Amino acid sequence: MPDGARYTHIDIIGNTASGSNITSITFSSAAEAKAMMQQTNVSFVSDAGMRARFTTLFNDLASADGAALFHCTAGKDRTGWTAAMLLSIAGVDEGTIMENYLATNDYTRQRVEATLAMMPPAMAAIYEPLLGVDASYLQAGLDEISREYGSVDNYLKQGLGLSQETLYVLRGKMVQYGQLPGQSELRGNAAQGAALLNALQNSELSGRYTDYNYYLQSAIDAGTLGGVETQVGGQIYADAASYLLRSGSRLDRALTPNIDSRQLRDGEGKLWLTGLSGYLGTDGSARAASSNEHTTGSLLGYTWRFNAQLSGYGTLGYSWGSLGSASADADANTTLLGFGGRYAFEDLNHGLFAAADLNAGWIDYSSTRRLNGGLGTATGDTHGQLVGGTLRLGYVSPLDFASVEYAVGTRLTHLRMDAFRESGSELALNVDRVSENNASGIANVSIAFHSQNGGGWRFTPAINIGYEHSFSSPSVRTQGQVYHYEVVQNAAFDSRDMVNAGASLSITRGALSLNLGGQADVASGGDSHGYSGSLSVGYAF
């Protein structure tokens, strides 16, 4: 016995006569010997004691941690029946099973001929059927299965009492599938997920009593992966990274009505508070599952007009980000700190100007991934940092009916997310660290119409249209591992160009001001679209 091996003896036959020991039985003809061998195989099905001991055998084989060797005295009858049942579990057709069974005669021919040569010819003719196998032996047992149970599967489950899980464990030990159902037709994230599910056949999850093994074998029988291929890779992490990298544009839109100092006098400041809410949805494709992003947040800030040419601001806020994709949800919440300024070469109310903004964010991230097929729920959390900056050059043109501002510039954003490990599922991911940069060009035109007075209030409507072009790859990728098998996922958002248009209304009475605004966003190709709104209150002094 090899070191570490465990020997188990299971007395399948008991006191029943068989061909395992030809010295203990006598026959008057070869036909008698052949009939006894056929009856032995019938007994494997009809005899309750034998069935119980086969149950023990198959359960032991399923529970074996590693390779298992099974054998009997002659290595052909009980061994042959066991092998036939295992091959049936593996999905082998009856013709091939019979060929495999009869191959015993080829492997044992030398030994059998040597044994028969030691007998008188008449005795050898009688006992020869006991030393080999014949198709009628195995067929007798299979016919008994058909009569008693209707199918091998029913015999294994009803006759031997084996569970479906045990049968799946046995099949998982024996069979590795080169292609999973529908795998060859998949693309993008789903293809990556299916490849991971396929690769895990080589992990310790396969061929054991695990959720993964039961799911995979069930999927083979059902002919579908059941959507797990889109869930297992963790697309939500790529979607969250993409969402955070685009936070600069959301922050700009929330700040715009509050940091405009044209309504302030030189040396005057404004304390303001704004609440914001937004949504962006991206349609699903062969590349990635659909995603949705919801943002709510608040900013507290102060804007100061130092003089006719210079203004600045500072802000502190918190953003609640909620995302969903591929049966997963994530919260990406950010504490924000920002400041910036504008310098006019002539006057803040007209002419050429330059502006700069710098912001930083501290991210708290958590997610929940629900996996189909009884694979459980994977949860994880991590932290990160976000740094961004914007430089713009613009021109303010006063007209008879409005003040028009044109601006172009560039925005840079860096995102870093710490690596982490999920928990709660056998397919929990080890998610790699994220370090991504995004550079984009921006252009904006805003028109602030002249104020209208009514009842002591001053009403100032405005409209704007903006455009942003990403110089970096718009597709964000994240990577993780399960049992050292890697999977890469792409974010659903994959648009290089974004256009937004909106309108706002500022209501002022003395030092008090109220601003209500809304925006619509559309990405190139129309795959991503959304809206946002903000409500601000300010007090100038």
The CATH number linked to 372 is 2.40.128.130
Residues 72 and 221 in one domain: no
pLDDT at 141 over 60: yes
Flag whether 2 is in a domain: no
Question: Which residue matches tokens 């009569």?
Answer: 147
Average pLDDT across the chain, whole number: 95
Q: Are residues 153 and 255 in the same domain?
A: no
Residue 434: left if φ>0, alpha if ψ -120 to 50, beta else—which one? Answer: beta
Residue 6 domain flag: no
Residue 512 pLDDT:
96
Tell me whether residue 12 is in a domain: no
Quote the tokens at residue 423: 């928990």
Q: What is the pLDDT of residue 74?
A: 86
Q: Which two tokens stand for residue 375?
A: 């694979």
Say if residue 21's pLDDT is above 70: no
Domain range enclosing 204: 183-230
- Domain count along the chain: 3
Q: How confident is the model at residue 526 (pLDDT cuts 50, 70, 90)?
A: low
Give domain status of residue 196, yes or no: yes
Q: Are residues 419 and 471 in the same domain?
A: yes
8: in domain? no
pLDDT of residue 66: 86
Position 25 confidence tier, pLDDT thresholds 50, 70, 90:
low
Assigned domain for 9 exists: no
Together in a domain, 40 and 104: yes
What is the longest distance spanned by two Cα atoms in the chain?
128
Is 0.85 surpassed by the pTM of this model? yes
Q: What is the CATH number of the domain that holds 158?
A: 3.90.190.10
How many CA atoms, within 13 angstroms, populate the side-chain half-sphere of residue 239?
A: 34
Q: Which pLDDT score, from 0 to 100, does residue 463 have?
A: 97
**Stretch 305-321: mean pLDDT:** 98
Q: Are residues 91 and 204 in the same domain?
A: no
Three-class DSSP labels, 40-66:
HHHHHHHCHHHHHHHHHHHHHHHHCCC
Give the bridge partners for 381, in sequence order: 366
For residues 511 and 133, what is the distance between their CA atoms, to the nearest angstrom?
Answer: 103
Same domain for 153 and 301: no
Domain stop point among 134, 151, 173: 173
- 409 and 283, same domain (yes or no): yes
For residue 2, the model assigns a pLDDT of: 78
24 pLDDT higher than 60: no
pLDDT tens across 409-446, in order? 999 999 999 999 999 999 999 999 999 999 999 999 99
Q: Are residues 459 and 505 in the same domain?
A: yes
Half-sphere exposure of residue 286: CA atoms within 13 angstroms, side-chain side: 5
Q: What is the pLDDT of residue 478?
A: 97
Q: Are residues 81 and 117 in the same domain?
A: yes
16: pLDDT strictly greater than 80: no
Q: Give, for 89, the enclosing helix (H) or strand (E).
A: helix 78-89
Look at residue 473 in the predicted model and tell me its pLDDT. Answer: 86
Closest by Cα among 307, 264, 260 to 447 = 260
In this prediction, residues 176-192 reach a mean pLDDT of 97
Over residues 252-271, the mean pLDDT reads 93
Per-residue confidence (pLDDT) for residue 255, from 0 to 100: 94
Same domain, 242 and 100: no
Looking at the fold, whether 399 and 275 belong to one and the same domain comes out as yes
DSSP assignment, residue 355?
E
